Amino acid sequence: MRQIKRSRWIPDRENLLVEETLFHNANGYIGVRGCLEEGYPDGYDTIRGTYINGFYDYVPMPQAEKLYGLVEEKQTILNVAEVQGIRLNLDGEWFSVFEGEILDSYRVLDMDKGITHRWISWKSPQGKVLEISIKRMASFTMLPLFLIEYEITSVNYNGKLAFYSMHSGKVSNYFNPDDPRVAGKAHVFLQVTDQESSSGFSRMTARTSKSGLSVTTAVRNVLAADSLPGHGRGGQEERVLETEEDGFTERITTYIAENESVRMTKYCIICDSTRYPGEEEAALALCREASEIPAEDWFGRQAAYLDKFWNNCDIGITGDHELTEALHYNMYQLLQSAGKDSRSSIAAKGLSGEGYEGHYFWDTEMYIMPFFLLNDPDTAVKLLRYRYHTLEHAKENARILGHKKGAAYSWRTIMGRECSGYFPSGSAQYHISGDIAYAVVAYYLASRDLGFMEEYGAEMLVETARLWMELGNYYEGTFQIHAVTGPDEYTCLVNNNYYTNVLARYNLEWAVKIIRILEEGGRAGKVIDKAGVTRAELQEFEKAAGAMYLPYDEKLGINPQDDSFLKKKKWDLSEIKEEEKPLLLHYHPMYLYRHQICKQADTVMAHFILEDAQDVEVIRRSFVYYETVTTHDSSLSSCIFSIVAAKLGMVEKAYEYFGESAKLDLFNTHKNTKDGIHTANMGGTYMAVVYGFGGLRTKESGLYLAPVLPKRWTGYYFQFQYQLRKIRVTVNARQTEIQLMEGTFLPLWVHGKLYQLTHRLIIDAAQG
């Protein structure tokens, strides 16, 4: 049973915002924060949001000093409508968990069923006792559908009961001028342009002010017939659907008696103009379709969908229920967050909040893609196709940055254009283009899907490779890349960032390689024509890759993060006071840049993603060195250190790093879960188990495993898909069992030794 349960749930002022995030309902297309249907008393902060993945408006972002090419307009995700509001009136008394008495309660995220459930046994100030059960769901089988099943059971009350169901366009985004991680200003983005109601349906269309997009919401409230038995005033129901300025309230009045239940289902359809052209009609039609199906059936479909999902990505830590639960939670959130229509990706906060304004970062490709590659390749393809879809914007961005050729993917974006207001840790992170190229190759290696490469992948590899040619230059026979920023945002605008250079080399090599592979299959014509690839250009790629400069320090025997990193002033990590953390909130960027201090894994990350570029002893020394200078002020860091520690056999250290990251949101350890979940970290914890402890690698040369077991675990298991196979790995202190669940036999490397996997392989721990 995969679930997160808060028993004896009480509305804790501090925690309500965090729970809105943790219990949000999303399906990759829409997301609704887990706010209380009945609302909050005055003075309670709430981020009452409903979001659509990839739906945005433009916001001016003036630069303090205008310089050529600096970004002055960004995109932002929008709170599109209020649909979750349902207030309950009991003969004059309003239901509120902040009044009366909560006799018993719980709140559950049921990940097997794909729903959230709030249950309260409540005694009103006047003594009415009722049980209230609220189930919510963002449907995975009908993406525009958000559904609430609201059921009241009377314990001692006989009388009138009225639902007030809200459907409103009076919404704005959350803002907080004091927090650099959320938007600083309130904006009214959406204007309701059209609304109508008929036969119990309400429909509202709103248009963005600048991006020219529109969204239609349609709502229908249905009182379940079976919940209105022929008691006293049997089945009576009075409905008033009031049209207001920018919205509706439907009041549904009925009666309830002791031991009776009343159940209402609210069907909400959210369609935007990019995915549902003619969305006014589409939304109404879908609302009609959805509301003819009882909630129970929708729950059944949802459960079936999730059954399949979990069946594909089973994972667990034997004997550590809490950790297993955290892993399940993380994977479930990735599922909730991932765009599945090739027109959207995975926002830094998924669809759970407005932090980072709904932007997509490298997080998708480097932290989340592995989960989908190994468990849900269809979604992985769609995420890559989203990047292909924005390739023209990436080319345009490259031109803005001065480059005559190639594609420079935006560091943060929704529709493709750059949204970073501070280029030293924004556009300067050119590595994102390499990251996307890396993900394209990773998909190819895990799938051997030549069709994708022919149609999309090869072109992306060529255009990103061109960027490196534009960026780099030869100096004394080496190919160097200057004035870029690697993953570590405490060290910006540097020369020859190791991560960037080694990734650029890989990108250049694979651009050449994939053309060759396609040519061998007679399938290279398309990309050669479309991208205008020439033999000479491929030779240039090869030459640059061959001459790529990778900084190496002879004395320390490590790869310096960049040309000057080791010359900088040291900063003793033990001297950093608690109140100075994270450093970025207490030090001027230049001060950070001047020091040997890292926000996050950078060279260590390169040593993970391209581990064969260096001897393992170099990696070991690098790892040890960077440990002493890394603050892990980013949630993207610990998981990578965990993976590399595991690779180096430092299993207990790997465990420590892992422990810090797995429960970030569930325990709100970064204190900003209210703004949304940390999707990259969630992907990272998955990677830490599978790539870290499991030692999984999918390389050109084949499949690799190297399981290790931290002392505090009795065992663990995970499953994954690889080249049309399904494989299950079970590890305990005694042995590693590798099971080929589906597909044909394959050779694989376990702890550096080649095996043939036909059905089941059991390897003694001693051999590992």
Active-site positions read 489
Considering the rule CB under 8 A, would residue 468 count as an interface residue with a copy of itself?
no
Least distance to a copy of itself from the beta carbon of 661, Å?
25
Q: Which of 305, 591, 749, 755 binds a copy of itself (CB under 8 A)?
A: 591
* Residue 552 or 749 with smaller CB distance to a copy of itself: 552
Least distance to a copy of itself from the beta carbon of 185, Å?
9
Cβ 96 vs Cβ 41: under 8 Å: yes
Q: Which residues ranging from 33 to 72 are in contact with a copy of itself (CB under 8 A)?
A: 61-72
Least distance to a copy of itself from the beta carbon of 621, Å?
19
Cβ 483 vs Cβ 493: under 8 Å: yes
Judged by phi (left if over 0) then psi (alpha if -120 to 50, else beta), residue 629 lies in: alpha
Which residues, at least 6 apart from 567, have a Cβ–Cβ distance to it below 8 Å?
A: none
* Residue 535 or 671 with smaller CB distance to a copy of itself: 671
User: Between 149 and 188, how does the x/- string for binding to a copy of itself read (CB under 8 A)?
Assistant: -------------------------------x---x----
Least distance to a copy of itself from the beta carbon of 640, Å?
24
Cβ 240 vs Cβ 251: under 8 Å: yes
* Residue 424 or 710 with smaller CB distance to a copy of itself: 424
Considering the rule CB under 8 A, would residue 572 count as an interface residue with a copy of itself?
no
Task: Round to whole Å and give the CA distance between 504 and 468.
Answer: 6
Task: Round to whole Å and give the CA distance between 766 and 768.
Answer: 5
Considering the rule CB under 8 A, would residue 424 count as an interface residue with a copy of itself?
yes
Least distance to a copy of itself from the beta carbon of 691, Å?
32
The region of 94-102, 211-219, 350-358, 562-570 touching a copy of itself under the rule CB under 8 A is 562-570
Considering the rule CB under 8 A, would residue 577 count as an interface residue with a copy of itself?
no
Task: Round to whole Å and give the CA distance between 345 and 680.
Answer: 12
Task: Round to whole Å and give the CA distance between 399 and 705.
Answer: 42
Considering the rule CB under 8 A, would residue 589 count as an interface residue with a copy of itself?
yes
Considering the rule CB under 8 A, would residue 737 count as an interface residue with a copy of itself?
no
Task: Round to whole Å and give the CA distance between 744 and 495.
Answer: 47
Whether omega for the bond prior to residue 177 falls within 30 degrees of 0, making it cis, is no
* Residue 379 or 427 with smaller CB distance to a copy of itself: 427
Least distance to a copy of itself from the beta carbon of 595, Å?
8
* Residue 474 or 667 with smaller CB distance to a copy of itself: 474
Q: Which residues ranging from 70 to 99 are in contact with a copy of itself (CB under 8 A)?
A: 70-72
Burial label for 15, CB within 10 Å (0-12, 13-18, 19+), is: middle
Considering the rule CB under 8 A, would residue 584 count as an interface residue with a copy of itself?
yes
Considering the rule CB under 8 A, would residue 588 count as an interface residue with a copy of itself?
yes
Considering the rule CB under 8 A, would residue 581 count as an interface residue with a copy of itself?
no
Instruction: At 86, list the tokens.
Output: 């349902």
Least distance to a copy of itself from the beta carbon of 670, Å?
17
The region of 80-88, 473-481, 535-543, 725-733 touching a copy of itself under the rule CB under 8 A is 473-481
Q: What's at 745, amino acid-wise?
A: F
Considering the rule CB under 8 A, would residue 427 count as an interface residue with a copy of itself?
yes
* Residue 159 or 421 with smaller CB distance to a copy of itself: 421
Least distance to a copy of itself from the beta carbon of 504, Å?
14
Question: 377: part of which helix (H) or strand (E)?
Answer: helix 377-389
* Residue 495 or 723 with smaller CB distance to a copy of itself: 495
Give just the sign of the alpha carbon dihedral 441, 447, 452, 453.
positive
> Packing angle between helix 391-400 and helix 377-389, nearest 10 degrees?
40
* Residue 426 or 710 with smaller CB distance to a copy of itself: 426
Q: Which of 285, 493, 610, 651 binds a copy of itself (CB under 8 A)?
A: 493
Cβ 30 vs Cβ 347: under 8 Å: no
Q: Which of 186, 188, 573, 585 binds a copy of itself (CB under 8 A)?
A: 585
Q: Which of 567, 577, 671, 759 binds a copy of itself (CB under 8 A)?
A: 567
Q: Which residues ranging from 239 to 268 are in contact with a copy of itself (CB under 8 A)?
A: none
Task: Round to whole Å and give the CA distance between 727 and 739.
Answer: 6
**Torsion of Cα atoms, 227 then 229 then 232 then 233, to 10°:** 70
Q: Please name every residue paired with 51 in a beta bridge, in sequence order, or none if there are none.
A: 31
Considering the rule CB under 8 A, would residue 423 count as an interface residue with a copy of itself?
yes
Considering the rule CB under 8 A, would residue 564 count as an interface residue with a copy of itself?
yes
Considering the rule CB under 8 A, would residue 223 count as an interface residue with a copy of itself?
no
Least distance to a copy of itself from the beta carbon of 497, Å?
12
* Residue 62 or 277 with smaller CB distance to a copy of itself: 62
The region of 155-163, 220-228, 288-296, 583-591 touching a copy of itself under the rule CB under 8 A is 583-591
Q: Which of 315, 428, 467, 469 binds a copy of itself (CB under 8 A)?
A: 428
Give, in order, the Cα–Cα distances in Å from 565 to each of 372, 480, 584, 604.
35, 16, 18, 14
The region of 150-158, 263-271, 585-593, 674-682 touching a copy of itself under the rule CB under 8 A is 585-593
Q: Please name every residue paired with 4 in a beta bridge, in sequence order, or none if there are none.
A: 109
Task: Round to whole Å and give the CA distance between 725 and 733.
Answer: 26
Task: Round to whole Å and give the CA distance between 111 and 23.
Answer: 11
Cβ 160 vs Cβ 237: under 8 Å: no
Cβ 201 vs Cβ 217: under 8 Å: no
Closest CA to 275 of 205, 213, 231, 352: 213
Q: What's at 694, amino acid-wise?
A: G
Q: Which residues ranging from 388 to 407 are in contact with a copy of itself (CB under 8 A)?
A: 400-403
Considering the rule CB under 8 A, would residue 569 count as an interface residue with a copy of itself?
yes
**Cα-flanking dihedrals φ and ψ of residue 471, to 5°?**
-75, -35
Q: What's at 187, amino acid-wise?
A: H
Give just the sign of the alpha carbon dihedral 227, 228, 232, 237.
positive
Which residues, at least 6 apart from 535, have a Cβ–Cβ distance to it below 8 Å?
A: none
Considering the rule CB under 8 A, would residue 664 count as an interface residue with a copy of itself?
no
Binding site for a copy of itself (CB under 8 A): 61-72, 180, 184, 400-403, 420-424, 426-428, 471-473, 475, 480, 482-483, 492-493, 495, 563-564, 567-570, 584-591, 593-594
